[in-house]
Amino acid sequence: MNFIKIYLFDTLSGKKELVEKPKGRPLRFFICGPTVYDYSHIGHGRTYVAFDALGKYLRSTGLEVFYLQNITNIDDKIIRRAEEEKTDFKTVAKKFTQAHLRDMKSLGVTAVNKYALATDYIPEIIKQVQKLIQKKHAYVIEKDGIYFDVTTFKDYGKLSRRTTLQAEDGISRIDESVGKRNKADFALWKFSKYEEKRMENERTLKINNEKPSWPSPFGLGRPGWHIEDTAISEKFFGPQYEIHGGAVDLKFPHHEAEIAQQESASGKKPFVKIWLHTGFLTTQGEKMSKSLRNFITIDDFLKNFSAQVFRLLVLSSHYRSPIDYVQKIGNENQAKWMGILEFLAKLKLIIAKTGGEGIGRRNFEEFQAKFSESLADDFNTPKAFGALFTLMAFVNPRIWKATKSEAKELYASVSTALKSLGFKIGFPEIPRKIEVLLKEREELRRNQQFTQSDRLRKKINDLGFGIEDTPLGPFVWPLR
Please give the residue ranges that form the binding site for ligand AMP (CB under 6 A): 32, 34-35, 43-44, 46-47, 246-247, 249-250, 278, 280-281, 287-289
Question: In sequence order, which residues have a C-beta less than 8 Å from that of residue 283 and are 6 or more positions away?
Answer: 294, 295, 296, 324, 325, 326
Q: Of 71 and 150, which has the nearer Cβ to ligand AMP?
A: 71
CB of 317 to ligand AMP, least distance (A): 11
Contact present, 224 and 189 (Cβ < 8 Å): yes
Contact present, 10 and 275 (Cβ < 8 Å): yes
Q: How far are the Cα atoms of 72, 167, 170, 261 from residue 254, in angstroms, in the given order?
A: 13, 11, 8, 11
Distance from C-alpha of 384 to C-alpha of 373, rounded to nearest angstrom: 8
CB of 301 to ligand AMP, least distance (A): 13
Q: Of 90 and 348, which has the nearer Cβ to ligand AMP?
A: 90
CB of 67 to ligand AMP, least distance (A): 14
CB of 472 to ligand AMP, least distance (A): 45
Helix (H, G, I), strand (E, B) or coil at 465: strand
Q: Of 35 and 73, which has the nearer Cβ to ligand AMP?
A: 35
Q: How far are the Cα atoms of 133, 137, 161, 244 from residue 157, in angstroms, in the given order?
A: 21, 16, 5, 17
Q: Of 264 and 289, which has the nearer Cβ to ligand AMP?
A: 289
Distance from C-alpha of 145 to C-alpha of 190, rounded to nearest angstrom: 4
Q: What is the DSSP string of 61-111?
A: TT--EEEEEEEB---HHHHHHHHHTTS-HHHHHHHHHHHHHHHHHHTT---
CB of 467 to ligand AMP, least distance (A): 42
CA angle, residues 46, 51, 52, in degrees to nearest 5: 95
Q: Of 311 and 441, which has the nearer Cβ to ligand AMP?
A: 311
CB of 30 to ligand AMP, least distance (A): 12
Distance from C-alpha of 228 to C-alpha of 241, rounded to nearest angstrom: 16
**Among 30, 31, 189, 57, CA closest to 122:** 189
Strand pairing category for 186-191 and 145-148? antiparallel
Q: Of 97 and 130, which has the nearer Cβ to ligand AMP?
A: 97
CB of 82 to ligand AMP, least distance (A): 16
Q: Of 175 and 342, which has the nearer Cβ to ligand AMP?
A: 175
Contact present, 3 and 16 (Cβ < 8 Å): no
Q: Of 97 and 164, which has the nearer Cβ to ligand AMP?
A: 97
CB of 204 to ligand AMP, least distance (A): 37
